[in-house]
Amino acid sequence: MSPLNLDRLRRDGQAFTEDISRESYLAHSGLKLVAELTPIYERYAEILGREALDFTLDLFHDTQKGTEAHRSARYLLEWQLESQTSRSLAALDEAEIALESSAYIQTADGRQVQYQEAAIEIANETDRPSRLALDDARARMVESEHAPIRMERLQREKAFIESLDIATSYNSAFEEITGVSLTGLVAECAVFLSDTQAMWDGTLPYFLRASLGIRPSEATRSDALALLRASEYDAGFPGGPLTESIRKQLTEMGLDPDAGGRIIYDVGDRPGKRSRAFCAPTRVPQEVYLVLRPHGGQTDYATLLHEAGHALHFANVRDDYPFEFRWLGDNSVTESYAMLFDHRMKDSGWLLRYTELGRNRMQGFLRMAGFEELHFLRRYCAKLIYEHQAYGDDVALSDLPELYVETLTRATTFQYRAADAFVDFDSRYYSTRYLRAWQLQSVLNEALVSRFDADWYRNPAAGPWMVRELWAEGQRETAEEIAQRVGVGGEGLTFAPLIRNIEKLLGD
């Protein structure tokens, strides 16, 4: 075996990441019943051992901040920590994937639903008693089988990172390695929740009454799934033209939807397939899977747009970049590209051109879109506040379910369940990536409008510009650096433009 150096770390790291990504794709897409992760971790044990971690730590500490060498070392260190944590948790991850793909839930009236389909069934169920009963059954399954796996995962992940003595705590280690200020973003989230409280209180009752015929005091998270499914607009978003509509738009903006065959669309239904869509870059940029399990209606259009943003990004990365700049880096960046595309569902021009919604229903749909945006932002702000306490040292593990219910319910009004406290949890603070991506996508949209007009999504010059100026760079730059480089307003990453757009949508 060759001695450990930077070239070998990159070469073997890429091989490991390709293998683990492909295995995860096969399992989560329903093409395999179980994920065989442990043999992969064993095969790459040397590149995921203490020597490799110490080597990467030395790179991180010995390189000068602000240099490309330090940027490279920081991304490699974050990858090492995530991969070594995942290696120690491989058996738990395998058990979770097996549970999700094979388990069934049974309601009190004898109805059986595959566990992965529960969220889809709940969102599509128009009879409220049946919807609540299905969610009751789901919660029992979560509490007895799924939550214990995720609770143990949280405990062991936190303990593993803290055992490495990178910093004094899990949270400070995250900040040291990623450069993201958790305390700063948590404070921003608290201000956002306060600033939008009156808007939320004034908007929620209307949508609950109009769509579900219930009051805010009655609403549960299962009702939120049904409400945001927006099935009353299904006629405007038929399933048949879904893929072709998105492909048409991408072609009009000068992009190849398949990226020369590098993007593979996996958008059909299949038993065992995750209900939550995902993009699986198994080789960057040569082989990228876009995976969607249909829910129906506008949800599928928004989801396909979102995953297309991810897929186009990874499939257009410069292939001469090293492993860490093609695969790794600040995931807020790829999430911002995904959100930039899914936010076309809030653009009347895009909707008129690529869907069958029509002008007569446009105003109502855009108001719903503004409400949906406000809901998800408030939900994710609350999630980060909760997760910051869960990863911290001031709240006992046994108190987290009550804290979860209190925090999420207060932010959204929808009654959350204690059973979901460890399942509705973004490991390694992925919620920070989503929140910063929301902010960055508004900067990117303003940049595109400035360069290519409001209908940039059909300007044949816009796509090549995105490939050249954004996607080709992978995630070498951080979200803040991209905002500074391409932004036109000088506002940086803030929630302010998001609030302005929500107000506009709700007022249309």
The Cβ-side half-sphere exposure at 121, using a 13 Å CA radius, reads 21
Residue-level pLDDT at 488: 83
Nearest-angstrom CA–CA distance, 198 and 201 = 5
* Apex 262 CA angle, 257 and 267, nearest 5: 60
Residues 273 and 237 in one domain: yes
Residues 58 and 75 in one domain: yes
Residues 174 and 191 in one domain: no
Residue-by-residue pLDDT tens, the chain, 508 positions: 567 899 999 999 999 999 999 999 999 999 998 889 999 999 999 999 989 999 999 999 999 989 999 999 999 999 999 999 999 999 999 899 889 888 999 887 788 899 988 998 999 999 999 999 999 999 999 999 999 999 999 999 999 999 988 889 999 999 999 989 999 999 999 999 999 999 999 999 999 999 999 999 999 999 999 999 888 999 999 988 899 999 999 999 999 999 999 999 999 888 888 888 999 999 999 999 999 998 888 999 999 999 999 999 999 999 999 999 999 999 999 999 999 999 999 999 999 999 999 999 999 999 999 999 999 999 999 999 999 999 999 999 999 999 999 999 999 999 999 999 999 998 899 999 999 999 999 999 999 999 999 999 999 999 999 999 999 999 999 999 999 999 887 778 999 999 999 999 998 5
Does any domain span residue 140? yes
Does any domain span residue 373? yes
* Tokens read off for 406: 């209190």
Please answer whether residues 220 and 414 qualify as being in contact, where contact means their C-beta atoms are separated by less than 8 angstroms.
Answer: yes
Does any domain span residue 476? yes
Does any domain span residue 244? yes
Residues 299 and 336 in one domain: yes
pTM for this model (two decimals): 0.94
Query: Per residue in 76-90, pLDDT tens?
Result: 999 999 999 999 999
Q: Please list the alpha-helical segments (H only) found in 218-361.
A: 221-229, 242-252, 298-315, 323-327, 332-342, 348-354
Helices 128-141 and 221-229, packing angle to 10 deg? 120
Residues 168 and 198 in one domain: no
Neighbours of 25 (CB within 10 A): 23
Residues 139 and 215 in one domain: no
Residues 390 and 343 in one domain: yes
Our separate counts of H helices and E strands in the chain read 23, 5
Q: Quick one: 19 exposed, middle or buried, by C-beta within 10 A (0-12, 13-18, 19+)?
A: middle
Residue-level pLDDT at 2: 65
Residue-level pLDDT at 35: 87
> Could you give the C-alpha distances from 243 to 33, 257, 258, 455, in angstroms and in order?
27, 10, 12, 20
Does any domain span residue 158? yes
Comparing C-alpha atoms, which of 354, 330, 328, 329 is closest to residue 341? 354
Tell me the residue range of the domain where 266 lies.
Answer: 187-507
Residues 127 and 208 in one domain: no
Which of 134, 153, 178 represents a domain boundary (last residue)?
A: 178
Sign of the alpha-carbon dihedral angle for 229, 234, 237, 238: positive
Residues 246 and 130 in one domain: no
Which of 150, 178, 206 represents a domain boundary (last residue)?
A: 178
Residues 62 and 116 in one domain: yes
Which of 152, 178, 204 represents a domain boundary (last residue)?
A: 178
Q: How many domains does the chain have?
A: 2
> Which 8-state DSSP code applies to residue 359?
S
Nearest-angstrom CA–CA distance, 460 and 384 = 38
Query: Per residue in 193-229, pLDDT tens?
Result: 999 999 999 999 999 999 999 999 999 999 999 999 8
Residues 236 and 158 in one domain: no
For 372, residues 6+ apart whose C-beta sits below 8 A from its C-beta are: 228, 230
CATH number, domain with residue 265: 1.10.1370.30
Does any domain span residue 359? yes
* Tokens read off for 282: 């198994």
Helices 50-62 and 6-28, packing angle to 10 deg? 120
Nearest-angstrom CA–CA distance, 228 and 231 = 8
Residues 90 and 208 in one domain: no
Please answer whether residues 409 and 399 qualify as being in contact, where contact means their C-beta atoms are separated by less than 8 angstroms.
Answer: no
Residue-level pLDDT at 271: 86
Does any domain span residue 72? yes
Does any domain span residue 1? no
